[in-house]
Amino acid sequence: MEVYLDNNATTAVDPAVYEQMKPFFCDIFGNPNSLHRFGAGTHPKMMEALDYLYSGINADDEDDIVITGNATESINTVIKGIWIDKILNADKNHIIVSEVEHPAVTATCKFLESQGVSVTYLPVNEEGIVDVQSVKQYLREDTALVSIMWANNETGKIFPIEEIGQICKEAGVLFHSDATQAIGKIPVDVQKANVDFISFSAHKFHGPKGVGGLYIKKGNKLTPLLHGGEQMGGKRAGTVDVASMVGMGFAMKLAVEALEYEATEVKRLRDKLESAILELPETVVIGGVNNRTPNTTLISIRGVEGESMLWDLNQKGIGASTGSACASEDLEANPVMNAFGSDSELAHTGVRFSLSRFNTEEQIDYAIEAIIGAVKRLRNLSSSYAYAPESHKSGL
């Protein structure tokens, strides 16, 4: 059996999304900016896609949603755009982010630091989220932007976006949230959350890879990252990938319709998997079980190197992760776990299982059996676990 439990890395395209995309490769192939019928033929479905995107995040008609290449591009557009507009061309010089942001945020901030920008990396508490009060505490006169993720890719922890949005609004500071891991898993309402910008990628919610979105609240101006043609109202030059845009729109519609299923059935399967693993001694959910996206669990299994576990599971047809897919080829301890202050062994023993609406009960039962078998085998081989006090081992 093959069981894919790495949906925070990417998801399968929903077959219904693929059907929507197909005509835009060989049949309706015109450039949307051309005036003839071939170009104009793309417009109805592009407009429909935009409608799905607007309603999916509850954007106002006057807000903007810019189609980008992925969340990374959206995030770079916001952070570098603010850098140009508010830091280089105004008197601000400070950005606040959390220390558990995706590298799309942190690496961009490191680059800005190399250009003289001051960046505060807010620590997370034992629950894995930033304290709302710490945002307030670190705001400065010259703060140009606060960027805090909506949900964490490793732990699934949901951040208090509405409260942070309120603080930023009161302070008159722009607020961006990386909603890449929130869309399709929990409701995302940009108006309720008081955000100025959000970023997302279609492939995280059963849409195609290579297309993302950038929400810009009305009234906010942003220097674009890509200059060129007048596509996207000049906010992102380059001919838009029509098939992908149509796919992303439809994927958003389906994801929003499936939110209830996500909150009940996907969560039930995640909880079943998690409880079975937690019955093993010396296992812990990193950051605890409260306030998480319904599909994710990051579990530390003492004595079991995360990479070895992945290898064992891969042999049995199961795909999971030790952390963000972008980081999984190096064997550095998971940075999110380090941020929690976990001890170094725990930090190397985290395995992330992330489900989707396409996982079945049968798959989860199979995965549970395989995981328990792998833990037994690897703990028997583990010198550090073998020498741990007897009380730690109780039977395994």
In the complex, the residues that contact ligand PLP under the rule CB under 6 A are: 70-72, 102, 104, 149, 153, 178, 180-181, 201, 203, 324
Q: How far is the CB of 74 from ligand PLP (least distance, A)?
A: 8
Nearer to ligand PLP, 63 or 154 (CB): 154
DSSP secondary structure, 225-249, as one string = SS-SS-GGGGTS-S---HHHHHHHH
- Could you tell me whether strands 143-147 and 318-319 are parallel, antiparallel, or unpaired per DSSP bridges? unpaired
Paired strand residues for 94: 118, 143
Largest CA distance in the chain: 77
The CA R_g of the chain, rounded to the nearest whole Å, is 22
Nearer to ligand PLP, 112 or 214 (CB): 214
How far apart (Å, rounded) are the C-alpha atoms in residues 221 and 122? 26
Nearer to ligand PLP, 30 or 306 (CB): 306
How far apart (Å, rounded) are the C-alpha atoms in residues 19 and 45? 13
Q: How far is the CB of 312 from ligand PLP (least distance, A)?
A: 24
- Helix, coil or strand: residue 395: coil
Phi first, then psi: what are they for 372, rounded to 5°?
A: -60, -40
Nearer to ligand PLP, 241 or 345 (CB): 241
How far apart (Å, rounded) are the C-alpha atoms in residues 324 and 352? 9
Paired strand residues for 66: 214
Q: How far is the CB of 202 from ligand PLP (least distance, A)?
A: 8
Nearer to ligand PLP, 180 or 322 (CB): 180
Q: How far is the CB of 34 from ligand PLP (least distance, A)?
A: 29
Q: What is the DSSP letter of 326?
A: G
C-alpha distances in Å from residue 389, one per residue of 118, 385, 394 = 46, 8, 10
Torsion from C-alpha of 334, 339, 343, 347, nearest 10 degrees = -10
Give the residue among 364, 102, 104, 352 at the shortest CA–CA distance from 225: 104
How far apart (Å, rounded) are the C-alpha atoms in residues 305 and 313? 12
Q: How far is the CB of 226 from ligand PLP (least distance, A)?
A: 15
Nearer to ligand PLP, 102 or 302 (CB): 102
Question: Any catalytic annotation for residue 168?
Answer: no
Nearer to ligand PLP, 3 or 211 (CB): 211
Q: How far is the CB of 244 from ligand PLP (least distance, A)?
A: 12
**Sheet of 296-301, strands arranged across:** 283-285, 296-301, 350-354
**Angle, vertex CA 36, rays to CA 34 and CA 39, nearest 5:** 50
Q: How far is the CB of 172 from ligand PLP (least distance, A)?
A: 26
The encoded tokens of residue 168 equal 């930023």
- Identified catalytic residue from 26, 109, 168, 326: 326
Question: What is the identity of the amino acid at 215?
Answer: Y
The encoded tokens of residue 45 equal 């479905």
Active centre residues (catalytic): 326
